Chain A
């Protein structure tokens, strides 16, 4: 199985400041056939189910605010919240779909400083 490792496990950011979450896969998740990275990001608020934010590493899901952005390729990926809002407090997960079984990172908890 591909192991997904996120860092940090938690971070506290002031309102309006940038939050950066990293995700590293144990092998490349880039499909050469379509040049797409099979990497998604989710947001899970307390007591709720996960919500898709980003797929193909950098494509924002419809309705997701543009302060959320994804970048990276191969094995190293980043989710950036450009200006943290109070409603962004949540746990964020990355997930690969390059091979089966799809696997998730352990999660990164984002809080307000």
Chain B
């Protein structure tokens, strides 16, 4: 059974860089029929797709965050990662990683399964 687990600091200072990793078990990030995604959810609010990555390293980003986001993949470690620069309080959220089956639009489809999520707070 595929499982995803987010990891990284729970507290980041304003203007610094948020860095998270997602470790995949029970499956391979090199599987050609899937993308791997990051989604976030401010506490008590809705869901926002951050971006997706393919095993080849191809990336697909939300235009709203594209100028601040880098998603990368490490196939030997079976992990993918998120970096978000110049964070502010507005970036405080639960960050989830998820698997995305390939569809018509590259990097985009439904999300299943999701990791348990990790809360990242931006505060000095």
Contacts and interface: CB of A to CB of B under 8 A. Distances in A.
A104 B47 contact: yes
Contacts, number: 63
A32 B103 CA distance: 14
B76 interface: no
A82 to B, nearest CB: 22
Contacts of B29: none
A49 B112 contact: no
A35 interface: no
B46 A49 contact: no
Given A49-B117, A97-B103, A97-B105, A102 B49 contact: yes
Interface stretch (B8-16, B20-28, B57-65): B57-65
B75 interface: no
B104 A34 contact: yes
B110 A99 contact: no
Nearest to B114: A49
Interface residues of A, number: 26
Given A38-B103, A49-B117, A50-B114, A97 B108 contact: yes
Contacts of A20: none
Interface in A70-113: 93, 95, 97-107
Contacts of A13: none
Contact of A40 (B64, B105, B110, B116): B110
Nearest to B4: A49
Interface in A44-83: 48-52, 55, 61
A30 to B, nearest CB: 11
A60 to B, nearest CB: 12
A100 B105 contact: yes
A86 B97 CA distance: 28
A93 B105 contact: no
B47 A52 contact: no
A101 B62 contact: yes
